Structure 1
């Protein structure tokens, strides 16, 4: 490949196509400017003329055969030994004058000797006899040398011809490759803004880079819309094939086994009598797993051991293995057609419909659900949980099995509801949670104090305003005995709770309901603040 010389002003990758002079032309392969008259492009090595490239490929694939001419039989090659012998035999045929100091080369001496031998010069008899004897011996040696050369010359020529043919075959194989180099798997060719050709990979689509030749920035094109849609559909199909059952999983819910004959109707009587049970939501069944040795239960936290057992059980079910063969777990299956028997027993809308006479035997603020009855058992099982877990439990029942209305007529808030008040000092909205007992009993929720309400006149003071006005001292410990700024009665200990994210961002979504009393008190509170 022809490459630019060191004294050439043209630098690789720095001359765009429009910068070329009249003595340059663009390369048909890479677009780089090349001087006219060059056979190949100095940048990529491609031929500048397609006709010459086609002719070159044809010559490389079909080279002309080598022709070896045969030597005539009468023409015997002269060996080096014969030449030296003739030269040494002719040295005594003549003598030079002493005044001549010129020394002839060996070739000239040989020619002179041959010319003298060809002449008809008479020589003395003794010298002639000796010379004839020497010539006879020389002829015998020359014939022997010529015979050896003829015997070995054919083999040497054949060996040289075979070597040349093998080298020509190798050259033809190298020339058959595609001009421009091999492409890597998963790659495609693009061009930079100045026409430099380069190869990028599929994982670089949508990314930016710089041309390695001219340094110009470029963007790798993204997938065409049609190909992208086909690719996404294929990925979704593969994902659906890989997706297995029992993806939804709830950990360590409290399952209570109650014997009606031994039940004590007392608040919190069943709070500590439970077995931590995992609920796995399958397509056709709900599986209850008590992690630990089979036949018993694992009470308490369990630590890292419980986590290891849970991971093993999840892997077993998600791989499609038999449900009854989950390792180190007691398994209970509830068929999907029996899940309609699930019902909330705590809380209830009316004490007349309560199995426990409205007494919170599972703990105040907790939610208890009766599980389907077992035919071979006289005991009844219940699962109790907090508000956050109940919302997730109801959502999974609706998505997996189409069961709705589990919380109907129970008073359980499925969404956060707030009651809005106005601060007596700053008129800032104070959002107080409704159904506070459910949030206080939920270990996954931590309500925060948003304000305080007077037990006598009902005005509300936000927590920020209380700190600013220093009502009740530090932390509001003495607020119960502090006089109300409006009615001058004891303020009382009536905190209003809200969620931390609501207090930080008042615009957060939630069901707000303001009371008419607060609306009527707002002008009076404003007047009191001005006075």
Structure 2
């Protein structure tokens, strides 16, 4: 065989085959490569062989006829037979007609009609004749079973029932079994610790809703008690370009605002209106406006005109932006380098920034007692514990070491950190006693007046000789708050016994 014959035979290969890959051939419909031996193309579903395609079309056009089998006459049953409805699984057998008593009459005509009907029915296959009845019986039986299952199904009022209660799901999909008495309560998932709410019964929803609406109306009346109000706090607007790092530079540059703190946020209210200026009626009118403002905001959904001047609201998310800027924990981290620009002893808090980009920062300054109420309200409403801790602010009263009066033998306690109390207009300081600069002996103010030390008003006590060490007493007063001037009787301690023994020795 010559080379030309080989070339001609290879060129005469089928179009669906490839020379480089003999295990695949091309689909005649879509042209995709299909593995040999496949009946249909994996891409388009077309037949790979023309003979198979022609045979398939022939079978579709001429389907084979249905073939029905003959059923023996003794096994034929009918859905209309009343005996079949009443029969049970034990096999109920009917009595034969011969067992019945009675007169047998000649019914030759009827028998001929019956025989004629049986001969007509025998011409039609039994399976074809009773096919519709069998399907109807199956459909009726299925419908009856569905109705019976629906009647037996237990009532579901919130979840799948279990012996201990019912099943609910937490927000993250964990299955939780709860009891009936837990309905309407809130809990935590034992797996993921996510909070979930147990649903209430649907029949009780309307009743609970009525109770909740009545409770909300009653809660509006007592909502004013849940708002903590701090009056006449100093708000300073400080443009950075005009800031002077000098002590007390912003002490008198402020505007008075009232602050209301509740779980819904913080209200900042100005009682003076812009157009009206200051209140012409004095303090009494200012107090009337303050009461009207507090009543207006305590209703929950206020209506009508706002009785005050301006008001701003800080959301619970903005409360997290509050921070103490004076005093500072460290001068290196202080915004004002540790300089008390708001006044010595005053506490300043930076307020959340306004939405406007060019709005200057604002600060609110207050005294020590006002700050304690402010911090307590933040902790109660927003769980912001320890606000201002670590900044050098005495969050509770701190006292000098308790000593007994030299004359009356009564305890005398003097406050520490007096600069904070002197800067608070709401703190009422009273003179509790005097301490000798030489020996540390303490004389209460009541005893000083009785003994007339330093004159009638005590102005000369600094030059008065101490009755114990005979040195100049010095100017070291001890102060206490007005409600702490007369503390309860102190029990005798070891330190007091040592002080008494030293006095006897003198």
Give 1:426 deviation, angstroms. Answer: 3.9
Out of 313, 336, 347, which is 1:356 matched to? 336
Matching of residue 453 in structure 1 with residue 435 in structure 2: yes
Contact 2:279-2:285 within 8 A present in 1 as well: no
Counterparts of residues 305-454 of structure 1 (less than 5 Å): 305-321=285-301, 326-376=306-356, 377-419=358-400, 420-454=402-436
Deviations 1:433-453 (A, max 9, x none): 122222222222222111111
Residue matched to 1:184: none
SS of 1:354's partner is coil
With over 3 angstroms needed to count, the CA separation of the structure-2 counterparts of 1:465 and 1:251, relative to structure 1, is: closer
Give 1:397 deviation, angstroms. Answer: 1.1
SS of 1:398's partner is helix
Contact 1:425-1:525 within 8 A present in 2 as well: no
Residue matched to 1:261: 241
With over 3 angstroms needed to count, the CA separation of the structure-2 counterparts of 1:297 and 1:368, relative to structure 1, is: farther
Counterparts of residues 230-249 of structure 1 (less than 5 Å): 239-240=218-219, 242-244=221-223, 247-249=227-229
2:453 and 2:273 mapped to 1: Cα distance? Answer: 57
Give 1:503 deviation, angstroms. Answer: 2.8
Task: Judge which range, 469-478 or 389-398, deviates more.
Answer: 469-478
Contact 2:270-2:310 within 8 A present in 1 as well: yes
1:263 and 1:515 mapped to 2: Cα distance? Answer: 54
Residue matched to 1:490: 472
2:486 and 2:469 mapped to 1: Cα distance? Answer: 30
With over 3 angstroms needed to count, the CA separation of the structure-2 counterparts of 1:360 and 1:298, relative to structure 1, is: farther
With over 3 angstroms needed to count, the CA separation of the structure-2 counterparts of 1:286 and 1:301, relative to structure 1, is: farther
Contact 1:432-1:496 within 8 A present in 2 as well: yes
Looking at both structures, which has the greater relative contact order when contacts are Cα pairs under 8 Å and sequence separation is at least 6? 1
2:304 and 2:352 mapped to 1: Cα distance? Answer: 19
Matching of residue 467 in structure 1 with residue 446 in structure 2: no
TM-score normalized by the length of structure 2: 0.51
1:520 and 1:359 mapped to 2: Cα distance? Answer: 43
Deviations 1:300-333 (A, max 9, x none): 9953443343333333323334699634522222
SS of 1:397's partner is helix
SS of 1:286's partner is strand
Residue ranges of structure 1 left out of the alignment (5+ in a row): 1-232
With over 3 angstroms needed to count, the CA separation of the structure-2 counterparts of 1:363 and 1:526, relative to structure 1, is: farther
2:437 and 2:290 mapped to 1: Cα distance? Answer: 50
Deviations 1:62-108 (A, max 9, x none): xxxxxxxxxxxxxxxxxxxxxxxxxxxxxxxxxxxxxxxxxxxxxxx
Aligned length: 291
Counterparts of residues 157-196 of structure 1 (less than 5 Å): none
1:275 and 1:397 mapped to 2: Cα distance? Answer: 22
Residue matched to 1:480: 462
Contact 1:290-1:297 within 8 A present in 2 as well: no
1:319 and 1:386 mapped to 2: Cα distance? Answer: 30
SS of 1:433's partner is coil
Give 1:382 deviation, angstroms. Answer: 0.7
With over 3 angstroms needed to count, the CA separation of the structure-2 counterparts of 1:236 and 1:413, relative to structure 1, is: farther
Give 1:408 deviation, angstroms. Answer: 0.4
Contact 2:269-2:312 within 8 A present in 1 as well: yes
2:270 and 2:435 mapped to 1: Cα distance? Answer: 46
SS of 1:474's partner is coil
1:378 and 1:399 mapped to 2: Cα distance? Answer: 30
With over 3 angstroms needed to count, the CA separation of the structure-2 counterparts of 1:342 and 1:439, relative to structure 1, is: same
SS of 1:475's partner is coil
SS of 1:351's partner is coil
Contact 2:428-2:481 within 8 A present in 1 as well: yes
Residue ranges of structure 2 left out of the alignment (5+ in a row): 1-211
2:494 and 2:427 mapped to 1: Cα distance? Answer: 26
Matching of residue 270 in structure 1 with residue 238 in structure 2: no
SS of 1:504's partner is coil
With over 3 angstroms needed to count, the CA separation of the structure-2 counterparts of 1:522 and 1:302, relative to structure 1, is: same
Contact 2:411-2:489 within 8 A present in 1 as well: no
Residue matched to 1:131: none
Residue matched to 1:60: none
SS of 1:374's partner is coil
Give 1:515 deviation, angstroms. Answer: 12
Contact 1:276-1:298 within 8 A present in 2 as well: no
- Which structure has the larger Rg? 1
Contact 2:389-2:395 within 8 A present in 1 as well: no
Give 1:410 deviation, angstroms. Answer: 2.1
Contact 2:347-2:371 within 8 A present in 1 as well: yes
Contact 1:367-1:387 within 8 A present in 2 as well: yes
Q: CA RMSD in A?
A: 3.4
With over 3 angstroms needed to count, the CA separation of the structure-2 counterparts of 1:503 and 1:288, relative to structure 1, is: closer
Give 1:492 deviation, angstroms. Answer: 0.9
Give 1:254 deviation, angstroms. Answer: 0.9
1:363 and 1:416 mapped to 2: Cα distance? Answer: 21
Contact 2:414-2:478 within 8 A present in 1 as well: yes
